[in-house]
Copies of this chain bind each other. A is one copy, B any other.
């Protein structure tokens, strides 16, 4: 049985976006796993991994940290039901991973950061505020005031993916693969921690998100959300 360490917020919400990449990858491979909740401010709980961030997995005796390294480990160890589909797919998916992390994640964070703050574990309240206000260079209260602008910036950042999803049902083509799990993690993070709808109903990303929520018997749909 694989064990996954991930963040837990109020009401049992599992909100680490990077852990959602790992959750989806594990289900994609058809692997059973159990989870261990970790507080954001409690680095000691995952010190055994050699790092201070989730996700961390333990697969038999192997400990792997970092969502990308975990995806590579799963693809290497369980080659059925591919996440990358070979060397080229893995290489290009890495480029997409870097793009999502540096362009789309910050754009989404600016929209939902105050909503996330309301739903983290109370023990993480001050830690979260201090860390995030540094990252977004504004107080949480200021981010609420500039939300419309942040939503427009998010829309611009997502435009290339809208174009892609007009042509094909998944980022990875006809079927979902790890590139979809990467992008989906950003929307699942929003869905679990924010009551705002960030997509217009006619946006091709909206129908794609529904397809992702349907995967693995509604695995990502049936969780505590905002």
Interface residues of A (CB under 8 A from B): 82, 84-96, 98-99, 101-103, 159-161, 163-164, 167-168, 170-175, 177, 179
Return the 9 tightest CB-CB contacts between A and B, nearest first.
A91-B173, A85-B88, A98-B160, A89-B89, A91-B172, A99-B160, A88-B89, A98-B163, A85-B86
Q: How far is the CA of A172 from the CA of B93 in the complex (A)?
A: 8
Q: In the complex the two chains form, is A87's CB within 8 Å of B163's CB?
A: no
Q: Shortest beta-carbon distance, A183 to chain B, in Å?
A: 9
Interface residue from B86, B98, B175, B179 paired with A95 (Cβ < 8 Å): B179
Q: In the complex the two chains form, is B171's CB within 8 Å of A92's CB?
A: yes
Residue of B nearest to A162 (CB): B98
Q: In the complex the two chains form, is A98's CB within 8 Å of B164's CB?
A: yes
Give every chain B residue within 8 A of A92 (Cβ-Cβ). 89, 92-93, 96, 171-173, 177, 179
Q: Shortest beta-carbon distance, A31 to chain B, in Å?
A: 19
Q: How far is the CA of A174 from the CA of B98 in the complex (A)?
A: 17
What are 10 A-B contacts defined by CB distance under 8 Å?
A: A85-B85, A85-B88, A88-B179, A89-B92, A92-B93, A94-B173, A95-B161, A98-B163, A99-B99, A103-B160
Q: How far is the CA of A102 from the CA of B93 in the complex (A)?
A: 18
Q: In the complex the two chains form, is B99's CB within 8 Å of A177's CB?
A: no
Further contacts, 10 of them, CB under 8 A, given A91-B173, A94-B164, A96-B96: A86-B86, A87-B174, A88-B172, A88-B179, A92-B92, A92-B173, A92-B177, A92-B179, A102-B159, A102-B163
